[in-house]
Amino acid sequence: MTKVIKEVITSESDTVDPVVVRPVKVAATDTQTYEYLVYYLFGALDVLLTFRLILKLAGASTASGFVRFIYELSRIFILPFEGMFRRVTTDGIETTSILEPSTLIAIIVYAILAVGIVKLIRISSGEQQAE
């Protein structure tokens, strides 16, 4: 990831344009690249789990290929949290809405885990961190 920062240089001479502005490219460090990667992966996982939560709450039919795909893909990530709390179901006229607390817990745990991993990367890098 590259940022462009403008560097301003002033001059004391009597020229018409005493201020020169040059773009300076600043590249991300290796540590920042790893941090971005961790946040990207865990962010994508949290989006997937959020889709699962919303589809379950809406009572989406598993006859849809997209719904089956989301459920199957996300199932492995909620397995460690399965059974902690009971599922809550509400029968509607056409659909059955399901609240899975295990999905909510998984979303929270994976978000905290991402922050923890990034903190460990920062500590192990040995770079001076800005506050």
- pLDDT tens for each residue of 64-102: 999 999 999 999 999 999 988 888 888 887 788 888 999
**In the chain, where the domains are located:** 29-125
The two three-digit tokens of residue 66, written as one number? 């997209």
Q: Residue 20's pLDDT band (boundaries 50, 70, 90)?
A: low
- pLDDT tens for each residue of 27-37: 778 888 899 99
Global pTM value: 0.73
Q: Residue 40's pLDDT band (boundaries 50, 70, 90)?
A: very high
Largest CA distance in the chain: 82
Q: Please count the residues of the chain.
A: 131
Integer-rounded Cα radius of gyration of the chain: 24
